[in-house]
């Protein structure tokens, strides 16, 4: 038994299978997700069918594939794309064991937030299981830096708590104003403060992506697109919706640890890559990594 771990709550799964449909924002391809109950100690596992064989893709940082602007997982020749909003919904609700079957590799973008997945999972019902969920309490500060972007975690001020703080600042010329948001994450606060916050992009970035053949099916009704005057053909759900979405992404990325994390997380201008690198360093420092390569 790892001396760094504690066990404070029962593991949980869903009571019944539930389906979410939509299309992938990047590919434009229709996709069906099935969230299925899973036995204790399973973890969160995506299921894909490749060459007639079902392939299991665990939600684990060692399977993360480096791609821009999203979190992808790859193992055994199969991959799943843009999983962060799905995983954030599961982690935010403290659903620890679940199979997620996907008809295509890219997750449905739905409204650009985690709320459609949260609604489906709540409809399925959440049930406790026999075994206890492992949790890791951060014991010393760990910091990851890349130019002006950084993310760090410190020992928690409040026991058995994951606290997130994110600073977003794209400069004075950006239509997205500087924003800071902090939250102690639990199922209630996740649903109330984070789950409905949508992904966002600048109009210039959206134009570039569509010019390269990506995101051709996405409209300004599907996510937040900002031009120089603010959101295009859309309205904000929160005045600081952009920074809340960054915190939502952190919840999804930090779930790649496979255990509950208790600590005070603070980030500036970070994205999926740095979030995942922090997870790797946390697991290595506390001797929880599944592979030696992760700690090289």
Q: pLDDT 10s digit of each residue in the chain, 296 long?
A: 677 799 999 999 999 999 999 999 888 899 999 999 999 999 999 999 887 889 999 999 999 988 777 899 999 889 999 999 999 999 999 999 999 999 999 999 999 999 999 999 999 999 999 999 999 999 999 999 999 999 999 999 999 999 999 999 998 889 999 999 999 999 999 999 999 999 998 888 777 877 777 766 878 888 888 988 889 989 999 999 999 999 999 999 999 999 999 999 999 999 999 999 999 999 998 878 665 456 76
- Residues 198-220, buried b or exposed e (16+ Cβ, 10 A)? bbbbbeeebeebeeeeebebbeb
DSSP-based three-state secondary structure for 221: coil
* Positions marked active-site: 272
Q: What is the pLDDT of residue 9?
A: 97
DSSP state letter for 268: E
DSSP 68-129: TTS-EEEETTEEEBS-HHHHHHHHHTT---EEEEESSSBPP-TTSSSHHHHHHHHHH-EEEE
Q: What is the pLDDT of residue 3?
A: 74
Rounded to 5°, the CA angle 97-164-18 comes to: 30
Separation of alpha carbons 183 and 161, rounded Å: 10
Separation of alpha carbons 276 and 157, rounded Å: 23
pTM, to two decimals: 0.95
Q: What is the pLDDT of residue 203?
A: 85
What is the residue extent of each domain of the chain? 5-295
Among residues 39, 137, 142, 149, the alpha carbon closest in space to that of 96 is found at 39
Strand pairing class (78-80; 72-75) = antiparallel
Q: Which residues contact 23 (CB under 8 A, 6 or more apart)?
A: 29, 30, 31, 108, 109, 217
Place of tokens 């990594």: 289
Assess if CATH 1.10.260.40 describes domain 5-295: no
């Amino acid at each position: 038994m790892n001396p760094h771990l504690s066990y404070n709550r029962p593991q949980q799964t869903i009571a019944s299978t539930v389906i979410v449909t939509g299309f992938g924002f990047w590919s434009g391809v229709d996709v069906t997700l099935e969230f299925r109950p899973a036995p204790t100690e399973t973890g969160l596992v995506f299921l894909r069918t490749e060459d007639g064989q079902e392939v299991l893709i665990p939600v684990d940082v060692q399977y993360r594939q480096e791609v821009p602007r999203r979190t992808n997982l790859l193992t055994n020749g199969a991959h799943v794309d843009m999983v962060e909003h799905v995983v954030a919904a599961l982690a935010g609700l403290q659903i620890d064991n679940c199979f997620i079957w996907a008809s295509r590799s890219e997750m449905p973008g739905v409204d650009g937030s985690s709320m459609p997945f949260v609604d489906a999972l709540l409809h399925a019902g959440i049930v406790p299981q026999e075994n206890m969920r492992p949790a890791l309490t951060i014991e010393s500060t760990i910091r990851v830096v890349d130019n002006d972007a950084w993310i760090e975690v410190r020992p928690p001020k409040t026991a058995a708590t994951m606290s997130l703080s994110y600073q977003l600042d794209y400069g004075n010329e950006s239509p997205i104003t500087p924003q800071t948001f902090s939250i102690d994450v639990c199922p209630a606060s996740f649903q109330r403060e984070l789950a409905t916050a949508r992904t966002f992009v600048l109009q210039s970035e959206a134009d570039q992506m569509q010019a390269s053949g990506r995101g051709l099916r996405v409209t300004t009704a599907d996510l937040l697109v900002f031009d120089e005057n603010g959101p295009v053909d859309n309205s904000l759900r929160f005045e600081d919706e952009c920074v809340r979405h960054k915190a939502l992404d952190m919840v999804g990325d930090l779930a790649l640890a496979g255990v509950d994390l208790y600590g005070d997380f603070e980030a500036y201008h970070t994205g999926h890559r740095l979030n995942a690198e922090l997870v790797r360093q946390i697991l290595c420092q506390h001797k929880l990594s599944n592979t030696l390569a992760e700690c090289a």
